[in-house]
Amino acid sequence: MTLRILAASIMLLLLSGAGALAGTQAVTLRINGVTALADLVAPDDGSIANGVILITHGTLAHKDMELIEALQTALAERGLATLAHSLTLGVDRREGMYDCGVPHTHRHEDALDEIGAWVGWLKERGAGPVTLLGHSRGGNQTAWFAAERAGPEISRAVLMAPATANPDSSAAKTYRQRYKADLEPILGKAAALAASGKDNEMMELPGFVYCQGATARAGSIVSYYGVEPRRDTPFLLPKLKMPVLVIAGSKDSVVPDVARRVKPLADGKKIKLEVIEDADHLFLDFYAEDAADLIAAFVKPQS
């Protein structure tokens, strides 16, 4: 299986965002020894007692990417509070896209701890029901958290173009196409190191996720490239106990199989599937407004 979220390099530029959102309260939280950054956008009355949407971004991205800012603006206009956070990826006060020159020590599943930490932060401040929202890889991480760690404060989950891991696709094939190298010996060495208690040992790689010529620890390689059914969002959906809204773009070329994979699971009640026509993976411009309309209609009954 392979996580179908690798895109053309131009995707990195589109993810970069356009600056801070006006009216945002910047907040920080110490998580596992590093400082995580987030932006809280509340309705006009400033209250989060009616609920908050916790937003998790996609692969190596950040809270200030264009889609996240557009969603926070649009949802605020619809009277919904949001908290968008940047996953630390092991970097103190990380801003912008992940610096590919920095060795990769993070794991895919580290996001669950960080989502949980922000949920706790919201609870301490008297927030009402929390809706989890994730985009792309963040959609899968959100679903994984919702399936295994969600408490009663989590009312709903929204997954936008969540990452999938298809049994009929090959991580090795994708890696070879992107980096002109074989994944099998790399993953085999990393798995052997991890099994012998040396998962912190660093390895030089032809590439890692979006990064060409990267350095990553063995445990990170196993986390991102090893076989793990929970990196496949459709695998997780039946395990979620709260209502779930899955939003797909009809022209998504990064995770093109979301609608096809989710449709058999969607009953229109516990699991809802909405496809935004002509939207691609990033839901830019008016498509973010369309997504906000769907999210607001899904969340407001719990407000």
Residues 6+ apart with CB under 8 A from 295: 53, 71, 75, 80, 133, 158, 245, 247
Angstrom CA distances, 14 to 9, 107, 148, stand at: 9, 24, 32
Kindly state whether residue 63 falls inside one of the protein's structural domains: yes
45 vs 125, which has greater pLDDT?
A: 125
Structure confidence at residue 18 as a pLDDT band (50, 70, 90): very low
Residue percentage of the chain with pLDDT more than 70:
90
Q: Domain total for the chain?
A: 1
Decide if 207 is inside a domain.
no
Q: Is the pLDDT of residue 196 over 80?
A: yes
pLDDT at 3 over 70: no
CA distance 246 to 237: 10
Q: What is the pLDDT of residues 128-176, one digit of tens each?
A: 999 999 999 999 999 999 999 999 999 999 999 999 986 555 788 889 9
Tokens of 132: 């989890």
Q: In one letter, which amino acid is 122? A: L
- Find the Cα–Cα–Cα–Cα dihedral 107, 112, 117, 118, rounded to 10°: 110
In terms of C-beta distances under 8 Å and separation of at least 24 residues, what long-range contacts does 284-292 make, across chains too?
A: 284/14, 284/66, 284/67, 284/70, 287/249, 288/67, 288/70, 288/71, 288/74, 289/70, 289/74, 291/71, 291/74, 291/160, 291/247, 292/71, 292/74, 292/75, 292/77, 292/78
The answer to the question of residue 191 being in a domain is no
pLDDT at 169: 59
Residue 127 has pLDDT above 90, yes or no: yes
Note down the domain range covering 25.
Answer: 2-100+107-165+231-302
Question: If you ran DSSP here, which 8-state letter would residue 64 be given?
Answer: T
For residue 141, give the CATH number of its domain.
3.40.50.1820
What's the confidence (pLDDT) of residue 283? 97
Mean pLDDT across the chain: 91
Residue 111 lies in a domain: yes
Per-residue confidence (pLDDT) for residue 174, from 0 to 100: 87
Q: Are 292 and 135 in contact (CB under 8 A)?
A: no
pLDDT digits (tens, 9 = 90+) for 30-89: 999 999 999 999 887 778 999 999 999 999 999 999 999 999 999 999 999 999 999 999
Domain annotation covers residue 186: no
**How far is residue 82's CA from residue 152's CA, in Å, rounded to a whole number?**
19
92 falls within a domain:
yes
**Which two tokens mark 251?**
């022209």
Q: Using alpha carbons only, what angle is made at residue 60 by residues 133 and 78, rounded to the nearest 5 degrees?
A: 30
d(CA 103, CA 90): 10
pLDDT, tens digit, 9 for 90 and up, residues 244-296: 999 999 999 999 999 999 999 999 999 999 999 999 999 998 999 999 999 99
Sheet of strand 81-85, all strands in order from the earlier edge strand to the far edge: 25-31, 34-41, 81-85, 52-56, 130-135, 154-160, 244-249, 271-276
Q: What pLDDT, on a 0 to 100 scale, did the predictor assign at position 6?
A: 37
